[in-house]
Chains A and B, each alone.
Chain A
Amino acid sequence: MPDLGKYAAEVLLAYGVSIAILATLVAMSWRQSRRVRRDLEAAEARKNG
């Protein structure tokens, strides 16, 4: 861990907030993609009998 001096709180907060936002965005996009894909496969299976 580098010595961040008197600004350690600000730097760590900036990294923490940004990584949390990016991780939430990726996780939500991925989860939504999987859910829609599964629902579409089920609907197509029903359509094809």
Chain B
Amino acid sequence: MSMWEYANPKRFMSWTGPVLPWAFGGAAVCLSVGLIWGFFFTPDEARQGSTVKIIYLHVPAALMAINAWIMMLVASLIWLVRRHHVSALAAKAAAPVGVAMTLIALATGAIWGQPMWGTYWAWDPRLTSFLILFLFYLGYMALWAAIDDPDTAADLTSVLCMVGSVFALLSRYAVNFWNQGLHQGASLSLDKEKNVADVFYQPLLFAIAGFVLLFFALVLLRTRTEIRTRRLRALIRREGQ
């Protein structure tokens, strides 16, 4: 069986139904372990004190803010090339989740920045590209809401998604190629010297797994809602004729 058959709306509804409780359950377990471990059972960091505990929210949220947009880009490209309706609806469903992740990353970053940098906000490359990514999310959702014809909306939002991808990638790599600004380098690295210490790293991995599973569960739930909404609209249209 081709993988594209899983994107058939009926088949999508049948396989995602049983997966959904496991995804939400896994997210709840991983988030609980990561956040409780990180908040209650990790020490303060020498320079940052207890603010290091914000890492368990800030890093996973920032990671998902970027990856949600990348997922939307892949789904949008599939829509443009193969015209799979479920992929367009999955991109639409992911946007509110992505905007929430971006908001958490921006808010926790500002709260963390005040005691460490002495300011809530600076026009630093990474912070600025994240703010632009947040605005792209809002624009993307507004464009979906503004256009009545769903296929036209999917086409135009897919193009917007491709343009916004520049800022999603910039948010990820800004710290690597701009050596200016307040934001530190990436917290996670394969280089053990640059990576966060193990005592913070292990609960952080659970928190990241929790955010990934929560994103996955919410996108499935919201895509199912979008498919039902489309079916509902079709039935109401038929009733009106």
Binding site for B on A (CB under 8 A): 2-8, 10-11, 13-15, 17-18, 21-22, 24-26, 28-30, 32-33, 36-37, 39-40, 43-44, 46-47
The main secondary structure of chain B at its interface with chain A is helix
Flag if B111 contacts A4 (CB, 8 Å). no
The residues of B that contact A22 with a CB separation of less than 8 Å are 100, 104, 214
| Distance (whole angstroms) from the CB of A23 to the closest CB of chain B | 10
Assess whether A11 is in contact with B50, with CB atoms less than 8 Å apart. yes
Q: Which residues of B contact A36 (CB under 8 A)?
A: 225, 228-229, 232
Q: Which of B50, B51, B222, B232 contacts A29 (CB 8 A)?
A: B222
- The answer to whether A5 touches B49, judged by C-beta atoms less than 8 angstroms apart, is yes
In the complex, how many residue pairs between chain A and chain B have their CB atoms under 8 Å apart? 93
- In the complex, A46→B236 CA distance in Å? 10
Q: B112 near A: Cβ within 8 Å?
A: yes
Overall SS of chain A's interface: helix
Give the A-binding residues of B (Cβ under 8 A): 35, 39-40, 44, 49-51, 53-54, 57-58, 61, 96-97, 100, 103-104, 107-108, 111-112, 114-115, 214, 218, 221-222, 224-225, 228-229, 231-232, 235-236, 238-239
Distance in Å: Cβ of B220 to nearest Cβ of chain A: 10
Q: Chain A residues with Cβ under 8 A from B54's Cβ?
A: 10-11, 14
**In contact, B228 and A11 (Cβ under 8 angstroms):** no
Q: Which residues of A contact B103 (CB under 8 A)?
A: 21
- A3: which B residues are within 8 A, CB to CB? 50
In the complex, chain A residues whose CB is within 8 Å of the CB of B239: 43, 46-47
Q: How far does the Cβ of B215 sit from chain A's closest Cβ, in whole Å?
A: 10
